Amino acid sequence: MLSLEKLAQAREKTIEILERAQIVLSPNEVDRIEIIDFGLGDLQTFGIQQLTYVDTDIYSAAEVVVFPGQICPEHRHPSFGDQPGKEQTFRCRFGTLYLYVTGSPVADRELKAEIPADKAQYFTARREIILEPGDQYTIPANTLHWFQAGPEGAVITEFSSGPRAQPEVFTDPEIQKIPQVASRGLKMILLGAPGSGKGTQARLLATKYGTAHLSMGNLLREEISTGSELGSRVAPMMSKGEMVPDSIVYEIIDDKIAQYNSYILDGFPRTLQQAEHLERSLKALRNQIDVVFLLDLPVEVVIRRLSGRRVCEKCSQTYHVDFYQSDVCNCGGNLVQRPDDHPDAIRRRMEVYRGQIGPLQNYYEEKGLLWTIDASEEMELTFGAISRVLDNEIIPNRRRK
């Protein structure tokens, strides 16, 4: 398990290597550096450090830093649904990277990489590609691959098809992509209006701090997809746009907070009654919420964000007119505006939200848990503000308790 001190040291080392590679980061990008040890607890041997520049449903780009001798374990990105899996292009910016993919192998004695003896059976791809500054290589989807940095370390710019969060299958069964960090046990709530970016921030925070992301909407959809008895009760309500009764919501959320030790709640609680139920459930588990973030932004910003949203009639992919000007999705389906994304409908939704958020805000303010964050800025600035509160206030105070 990584201690907070080791996590901080790894981040500093990452910044140092990026500076040697003459890659300049903004303060907000520094806050978004992710340290990944694959759950093996030996970052010096197994791990990567990464900074995601852009992550959309169409493509993603990131800077990947590999410490000297550090190994990214063997894995592949398989197809899922009607998607072919992630194709990646690595371009070396600094140092040397020994990349291995399936294909004609080199003899073990000729391998540039050094594999720990107790893990050798989990490194089967042996076609060797050596990347130095200016070299690049494209890894097809669903291709087994792994890599190790040379003596100086390496910096690789990675360009990928689709979003970064796609299925990964590791050869080593002990691998976990979520970092094992000593701040486990951290419990957070994200509050905010529609369009405030709660889901995006929750995903970023879950990756950085190694927590589960418990999105109420996703949890309900999961129940439906599994065909459970609970899902069969929820499906007709959600298809009609009806509110799911608190009794069902409580059944789902109580199960999840008992299952996970560390999590971010997104979409729950929405009302004072739900907040009071959550507190009772946590007390029964001898737990408590550590921090509540309210993502605040003017109604005009909410209207601009949501009214520009377009949804594909065929595959349900979401786009925004500020970033995608076509009326046709990549799958060929037509892009339409949902009825509840029209400005008048958004204003009505905001009236409901304001009626709910006031009591919730007072409830968590009185408990000393609430931090209000300006969410009208770019995603990176909002994430940086939340991270600073966690790194400088919440996590250090938890450790002193």
Active site residues: 198, 270, 309, 338, 349
The CA distance from 201 to 109, in Å, is 46
Kindly list the distances between the CA atom of residue 282 and the CA atoms of 7, 275, 289, 359, 364, in Å, as whole numbers in the listed order. 29, 11, 8, 20, 15
Contact status, residue 280 vs residue 286, Cβ threshold 8 Å: no
Q: Retrieve residue 310's tokens.
A: 């377009």
The CA distance from 21 to 270, in Å, is 46
Contact status, residue 60 vs residue 163, Cβ threshold 8 Å: yes
User: If 0-12 CB within 10 Å is exposed, 13-18 middle and 19+ buried, where does residue 339 land?
Assistant: exposed
DSSP string, 88-118: EEEEEEEEEEEEEESSSPPPGGG-SS---GG
Q: Retrieve residue 178's tokens.
A: 């979520």
The CA distance from 259 to 127, in Å, is 42
Q: 203: helix, coil or strand?
A: helix
User: If 0-12 CB within 10 Å is exposed, 13-18 middle and 19+ buried, where does residue 35 land?
Assistant: buried
Judge if the upstream peptide bond of residue 116 is cis by omega within 30 degrees of 0. Answer: no
DSSP string, 299-311: HHHHHHHHHTEEE
Q: How many residues does the chain have?
A: 401
